[in-house]
Structures are given as structure tokens and as C-alpha cells.
Structure 1
């Protein structure tokens, strides 16, 4: 029988000059429980030193910034003015929350508060591509990656802007509640259920409307055959194009290579089966096209961060 995850507390750090889109996005994801949830949702609190100006709105926090240190997860939304240093009281509160054991995640330019708190020294981090040079210049000890949607360092996570902030929030839901619940939240919000953090921020050709791109028929065909040992050559033959031409279209449509995309879909399939079935790891490896349990464990550990058995115990009793 599936075991319900424990109720986790999420605190959103609020200060003057934050962008309302990212703040509202975090409130929507963590503050609204999906229908028929098999367990408790998050306890959401907005923490600020005082009433704060967010865009055109005045927001009254639920409690002071000291409340961040009592949360399991702290979300720092985007700061509108990155030319100025983040407020010292915000930086101190974020640092205290991390030292108290919280997971700390920044959305877009909220990364400047994490960097000022010293939480990113020696770690990879990202932000909106328009501000990555500024982040690198002001915080040379941070390994700034301008080409990804989000970076998960375990207890410190950073995202690029706007849509990538949604990707990171859904990634956190997936870490806490599993893929099935994250997919329900994504469907409610009418957004893609999962985009890999390593996907490029900027895709040279915008993703076309459904059925309007060269891979529209290929991708569903692959998804229906994940249990098979597909190669890039198999995909190219199915799409009636050369491997090089296929790779170019994959980069334009998905922001990644055919092999990386295929591996990501296999891992996702394995996650779903680990959460929803009692099948052995060997059986799941075959169903996800990994061949053997050893191969699945190697790729799963590297991608998800824990072995399949540990992942299953997290979401199932």
C-alpha cells in the first residue's frame, strides 16, 4: 500500500521589489493541493519583515523573516533590481534557514540572495540568461551555468526565469511527492509535466504547436516503445532523415540530443513504475528499456540521485 508523504512546510521569502510572477507561481504550486491527493500537502507561509511591495500590489506576510528558519523548504522569488545588493535582512534570514537545515531554492534572480548568503560558493547555479554575466562577475566563487533551466545541488537549488521557475517548483514537488502527484499538479496548471533541468534556456527554434514540428509523429512513437532497445539510427529511420538531421531537429524542439532525451524518458518511466507497481527492479528495467537492473541502477542513481530501491521506499510503504 502506498504511504503518504509527511506534511512539509514551505516558506516563501518576501521583500520589497520582488517580481509578482515568480512569487505568485510559488504560492499557486505549493499553496493549492491537487484533487484526490493521497496524503497531506504543504503548509505554506509567506515570510517578510513587514508589508512588502510586489509589483503594483502590497502584500502582508503571514509572519516575519525569522519564520524561514522553521521551514523545510524556503523559496526565494525573483528580485526586480539586480543592480542593488539584496536586502541584508533577507540574506541573513536565508542563511539562517539553510543553517537550520532547510532546502533553499531561488527562482530567477532570487539567486543573488543565495549567492550573497554564501550558499552557492563552489556550486553550480543558474539564473535568467540576461543576468548570468552579472552573477558571475559579482560572485566569482559560484560556477554559473547560463545554459540550463535549473540546477539541483541537493539542499540548494536555482532556476532560470519565468517558465523555468515553474519547472523548478514542479521538480521540488516531484522530489517530495513523486512523479504521479507532480504530473497532476502540472495538468491542473496546464504546463508540461517535466522538463529536465539540464535543458537549454534558449532553444534556437521556438517549440512549435502540437503536430506542427518534424518530430510530432516520432516522439509519441518512441514513447510507446520505451521497452525496446532503440538507437539513434532507429529513430532517424522512423523519421525518414539522417542521424545528423535528426539531432538538429531534436536540439531545436527539445533543447537536447536524441540519446539524452531518450534516457530521460526511460528514467521517467522507471520512476512511474517504482511509484505505482510492486514489480521488481529487473522487471522495471526491462519495461523502461534499460535491459538489466544493473544498468537501470547506474543511470537512475546518476540522474535521480538515489538508487531505485530507495526511491521506491520514499513513495511506497
Structure 2
């Protein structure tokens, strides 16, 4: 992928930050939809509408059927993304938004460790130490959750988000391979379409038509997800991945503010401390983040 030599890095950084912001706002809409419709129907209808938007953009960009390798990668990532999203949004409905985002930050480090196993990437002691630091941060957050006595549902939600983070790390590895086999527009469309088709298999048993009042939120969430993907794709095409990847951590601020404004959630000091430890661990391990960085723009 060719990057512009004349574009200011600050512009690419601002666009990437805007993409993260839109995706964070989408999370707030999805939390509201999950509370109203349940995680299955919220995700089914949002990805369905996203597939329509992505299909239009893909066709406008020239379309074209993917290669056999790309097709298998689309299918694999779609399966991983479907389970990952179900776990994340189910957990998001049960824990404060800031806590959920902080727990999910372990994914880039997990991706580096998985990269060593799957792609033969070298992992030094820096990444091992960073991973231990990140796990300590997770422990701080979970300890704070126990002290806040949020109930067994909150613990189950936190565990679901941690499981989702593991799958997100797998998703990053697949996205890295995918980026070498397909264009961003193709990836966006096929991921949304495959996730929708997989979820639709359970529609005869779990599906329900959303109330009229929820369709506006579904449409906005789908637009936000699609716009975020294209903003991040554009930014990563015009800026260095290592420079832009730090915008991912701005999602904690968005989650804290939106959780407070929309859902009345208080950010615990242990969540702030745990998030700080995890972010510091990720930055400490940043010298060996090529997989996670380059895939990050494709993972939204």
C-alpha cells in the first residue's frame, strides 16, 4: 500500500482518532440496543444494515469477486468476528463501558504472542514482560470490580470481554493476512455480510423484528461502524502504523465520558489504574507490534 509523502502526519493522526471516536460512539449505541433487544438481535440487525452500506461502497469501488485465498480468509475472519462481537456486546451490557474497553486493550499484546505461534514472528523479553504487566492491569480492574460489588452478572460480563479480547487478537492475525489478499472495501463488505449470514442461521429461533423506535439507533450504529472502518483505512494508508496505533487508546476516554453521560456509569479508580497499567504495557512492548499495528486499521 502506497502512503502519501506530502500529507502531514498530523492529518492522518486526526483522521484515525476520528475513526476511533466514531467506533466508540457506536459501542454506546450497541450497548443501548443490546439492553433493549438482546445481544443477538442487536448484532444481527446492525451487521445486516452495515452489510448493505458496505456493499454499496464496495460496488461503487469496482466490486469484483475475491480470490480463493481471500474468500477463505473472509470466511475465517467472519466466523471469528461473529463470536467475538457476541461475547463483547453481551459483556458490554453488564459492565461499565470504560471497564470493558480497558479489559479489551490486552488484545494487541495477545496478537503479538499469537503472531509468534502462527506467523513465526520473533517475540523478545520486552513483549513477555509487557504481557505480564498487562495481566497485572487486568487483575487490578477485576479486583476493583469485586470491591464495587457489581454482582455475578458483572463478573460474567468481564470474563466474556476477556474471551472476546482473545478472539480479537486472533482477528488481528487474520486481518494481517487478509490485508495482503484483498482491498479494504472488499474486506469491509464481506466481513459484515458473512457475520450477518452466520447470525441469520439462528434467526428462526432467536430472531425478532425490532420495534420501530429502535431502527434509528440500528441505522446510526451501522453508519458509524462503516464510517469508522473507512476513516481508519484511509488513515492507515496515509500514515505510519506505529504512529497511528496510539489513537486506539483514546477509546478509553470516549467510553468513560459516554458511559457517564448516557448510562450514568461511574469510572472506578481501579479501572483508571488498571487501564493505565495495560496501556503502559502495550506502549512498552511497542517495538514489536508490527502485526497488531498494521492489522488494527482493518479490525474495526
Structures share fold, TM-score greater than 0.5: no
Structure having the larger proportion of residues in strand = 1
**Whose radius of gyration is greater, 1 or 2?**
1
Using CA pairs below 8 Å that are at least 6 residues apart, which structure has the higher relative contact order?
2
TM-score (norm 2): 0.27
Structure having the larger proportion of residues in helix = 2
